Structure 1
Amino acid sequence: MFVGKGLNALLDALYYAPYEKSGWQEFLNRMVSLSGSRSARILVMNKDADQVFNGVQVNTDASAHKAFVEHYVNLCPWRPGLASLPPGKFYSSFLDGICDQKTFYRSEFFNDWARGLDIHHGASGTVWQHEGQTIQMFMQRTGGQGHFTRNETNAFNALTPHIRRALRLEAIIHQRKQQQDYLEQQGRFGAMLLLNVRKEVVYASESAWEMLRADPSLRMHTRKLRLQNKAAQDLLDRLLAASFDGSNVHAPVTGGVVPVWRCGRTPLLMQVIPLHPDADSSLMPVPAHVAVYLVDGEQQSQMDLGKLASLLDLTPAEARVAALVAQGEKPADIAASGNVSLHTVRSQIKSIFIKTDVTSQAQLTKLVRALPVQQQVAQPRVPFLLSSAG
């Protein structure tokens, strides 16, 4: 089945897959063509293989794939049998006792999903498995094509070591991208913290220390970050736990963003980026496993209030109110964030209207946004997992 030029082209596609945007689709397309299959898919799943994190598939339309991932993946009668068999191999659904055809044809999976796609036979296997992550691959055939023979299943098994190596390349490339993101963002964002494996802050930039001292929604306790909001703390703890999972160093952990909500103000965003233990230590100012960037939503759209006051002949307090109105803030929220009464804010808005010759907050917003007073700050980029398509 996989011989000569066909095998060489297949291996080339496989080892190019981690480097190309649609590389995994190209590899699966070649697998389908050479094996005489109807469709194929690779699923990135959790440890118990009952939740799909990501996936790549060919020859199944987007709606059918979505239904499979969200519901039918756990109804597929091949998968319980697959879970009971040793990983690292492909198994023929017909020959290896995963599920007999009568049981398959009586299943909800077949009658509500596979029948309409003319999927009757499969060859599947757990091709890569780590603590917290399982990657399974499925080849599927129609009734007219017949089941996968022993020789065909053995041919898939001969490819399995190569598939594992390509998946590991994918993970390594992802790690390197995270390191590059870290270096780029380190140069663009001043408010940065580095945490070691004990979740202790081992480095904090000057601007990060200023935010920790000034913002009551977050603080340092025994060198660890503590958030006032419990939901935010729980999310931060989960992201850190995933980043510090030493048994999962080759898996593409992505980190995430924790919104820290503040009364009457825009949220503070904490971007968590894992730095894997095999990262080049010479790139890091101190030993660390996670970088945390503090992004103040108010500063991201901050205006030069002094310049705004000068251009519109406003007092400093009025300039602040005008800037917040232009950012869509309501008078009550402006009063709460400034510790003043709502009456005071309304009086300030009335004074601003008179000085700027406008009659509504909408007109004031247009005027302020048209002025050269914005301080642009680059937004952080959130890393992602394996590239995937339909």
Structure 2
Amino acid sequence: MNDLMSAAPGLLDDLYENTTRPEHWPLFLEKIAHLFHADTATLRLTDLNDPVIHHSFSTGFNQTINEFYESEGVVRDTFREALASSPLGKAIESTAVISDREFENSTHYQTVFRPNGNFYAMGAQFERQNGQALHIGIHRPRRRGHFCRHELNALELFSPHLRRVTRLSHLFADLNQALDDAHHALDQLPFGVWHMDANLRIRWMNSTAEEALAAHTYGLGVRSNRLRAFSGSGSGSLPTMAGRLIENLSLIETLKLGETGACLVMMQSRRSGSEFHIGRSVAQGILCFLLDPGRPARLNQSQLAIMYQLTPAECRLATLLVSGLDVNEASALLQISRHTGRTQLKSIMRKTGVRRQASLQRILLLCADTLRSPDD
């Protein structure tokens, strides 16, 4: 028993280390089988009502026998009902379910256990949810004897940890799916967008930005995972712009890129100062937008009117602002006075519920795909 208890911490480390890597769980099974002087072990996701296996991991099992069990043998599994009716996390061993003589004459022994060299087994269901159950099974030859009470107690120590790892695995899977969905949504935007830190190290970018930076289309690119300007005055401007944002000297920075009318818009990304972090601190980040008049994010005026009650004149101004122009440049292009442009801007900000132009531009940029004109 002492040997089992002393080995448990190391096995638990392996288990938690592989929370996000289920493909490594057979390595954990191999170690736990060795700990219990067994040759095979399994983790299976089964149906609580029907003899169906949805997913499984195993070690030591002959592949052909394992495939037979999963497709046909599970129907005649002598221990399936006993596992399902036992309290969650409680380990049971085979001699408590069926005598050696009866088991020796059973179909389950003849078709699964005997061909794989096993006779005794112990296991426990450690999770039940949505009509499914997860259980661990450990098996060994007859010559090594049946599993003792102290071995069952040791297996029960692992049950709550297996349950937690399973739930953590589900949470990470849901998180990864949400991230994939977010990346897909960002890839649909008609302009480049990426996030970087104060040292211009890029954390993520959408496909439009990736294509533009890889081709140095606007004199911008990536070297050693950092944003770089390869032509023009941007080389010295980028660190200065980032510094002004990080030091709260500015809320938004704009850099014109050549003569095409394209521009880089940089703004502070939102960050809460109340989070608790262990290890490396989370520094303020910078959200970047690469805007090109050749690939405009034209806003759907009817949608803007419905969502924010903007007038046609305000919609025209908003469309130019989302293209990277400031209010003076947009006013000149619309052939209205600066005073009129600023008055319209204040009205737009009031209707959209923001107090700063940077917040307005963020809203317009991030919802541009939703509000994009159907003709684009």
Q: TM-score, normalised by structure 1?
A: 0.46
Which of the pair has the greater relative contact order for Cα pairs under 8 Å at 6+ separation?
1
Larger radius of gyration: 2
Q: TM-score, normalised by structure 2?
A: 0.47
